[in-house]
């Protein structure tokens, strides 16, 4: 019995997925499907760049999803019983594709639109994010509350692991929160290079656009439960999945709670499917009793399938 984890934005890198396409026909087909669904050469951008274009929110999101699904398709027959899936922010869409709730082409178009909406929101109401390391969740929550005022709001955005949170909001409030976090004893408190205040109320202007996009696609019940970022709980209903994915834009990613929920269900083994190993590292900090293997390169896939 295994849980599948799918990475979010920030895991992209130049050359991602190229070795998979060179060794596996299923991967080649997956990237070709992605190019056709989006109407441009996403795979060429993934492999050849320019890197700054790949990092753009509306390109990084479909690139990571395509990479994750390419890996999933190759190893699907070797997985055995999948107990559940979870994805970090964008990765939640990948989880629903793998669970059969959302068509791959529809998902690609949706996350590309999601990325555009998030970028536009960042331009309409500029904001930023910051990483806070070495403080308890409750302390970071208090810092955000104290730093929020009429001229700006800041909230916890990513509960990534114990002592590792990301905050998000108006720049002036985030800057105040950084200073307050340092005064509270944070090991590190630093602003991130992002195009907007993701997972905060500042993304509210993007909700209507994402809801409109999701109304165009069919969302079935997943074959296995997906853990919602918003609720940190099991989702087995397609309509509920849609609703929570819209709320996710302005809500915190409750990743630590999500991993505890999976462990409480008796799952010991996790697989991170897609580029990088960020989620594998986070899980080690959340629960050292869990076993997680990152599978994203051709070598890692070949090792897994034997």
> What residues in the chain have per-residue pLDDT under 70?
none
Query: pLDDT, tens digit, for every residue of 212-255?
Result: 999 999 999 999 999 999 999 999 999 999 999 999 999 999 99
What is the SS3 string spanning 249-262?
Answer: CCCCECHHHHHHHH
CATH class, 127-191 region: alpha beta
Q: Which two tokens stand for residue 134?
A: 């070495």
CATH of domain 2-123+201-305: 3.40.366.10
> Does 89 qualify as catalytic in the annotation?
yes
Annotated active-site residue in 11, 43, 68, 89: 89
Q: What pTM was estimated for this model as a whole?
A: 0.97
In a 13 Å sphere around the CA of 285, the CA atoms on its Cβ side amount to 15
Active-site pick, 68, 88, 168, 199: 199
User: Structural domain boundaries of the chain?
Assistant: 2-123+201-305, 127-191
Is there a catalytic annotation at residue 260?
no
Rg of the chain (C-alpha set): 18
Q: Residue 207 in contact with residue 246, Cβ under 8 Å?
A: yes
3-class secondary structure, 110: helix
pLDDT value, residue 306: 85
pLDDT at 181: 98
């Amino acid at each position: 019995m295994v849980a599948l984890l799918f990475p979010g934005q920030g895991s992209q890198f130049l050359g991602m997925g190229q070795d998979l396409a060179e060794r596996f026909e299923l991967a080649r087909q997956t990237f070709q499907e992605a190019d056709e669904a989006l109407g441009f050469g996403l795979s060429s951008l993934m492999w050849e760049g320019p890197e700054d274009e790949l990092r753009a929110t509306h390109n990084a999101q479909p690139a990571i999803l395509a990479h994750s699904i390419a890996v999933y398709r190759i190893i699907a027959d070797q997985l055995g019983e999948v107990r559940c899936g979870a994805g970090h922010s964008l990765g939640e869409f990948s989880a629903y594709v793998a669970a059969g709730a959302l068509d791959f082409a529809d998902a690609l178009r949706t996350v590309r639109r999601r990325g555009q909406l998030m970028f536009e929101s960042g331009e309409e109401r500029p904001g930023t994010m910051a990483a806070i390391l070495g403080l308890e969740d409750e302390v970071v929550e208090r810092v955000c509350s104290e730093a929020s005022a009429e001229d700006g709001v800041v909230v916890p955005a990513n509960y990534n692991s114990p002592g590792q949170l990301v905050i998000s909001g108006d720049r002036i409030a985030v800057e105040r929160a950084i200073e307050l976090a340092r005064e509270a004893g944070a090991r590190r408190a630093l602003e991130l290079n992002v195009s907007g205040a993701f997972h905060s109320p500042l993304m509210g202007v993007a909700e209507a656009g994402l809801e409109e996009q999701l109304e165009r696609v069919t969302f079935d019940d997943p074959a296995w439960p997906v853990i919602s970022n918003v609720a940190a709980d099991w989702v087995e209903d397609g309509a509920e999945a849609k609703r929570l994915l819209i709320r996710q834009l302005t809500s915190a990613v409750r990743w630590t709670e999500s991993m505890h929920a999976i462990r409480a269900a008796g799952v010991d083994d996790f697989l991170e499917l897609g580029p990088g190993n960020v989620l594998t590292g986070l899980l080690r900090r959340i629960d050292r009793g869990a076993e997680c293997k990152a599978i994203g390169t051709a070598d890692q896939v070949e090792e897994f399938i034997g």
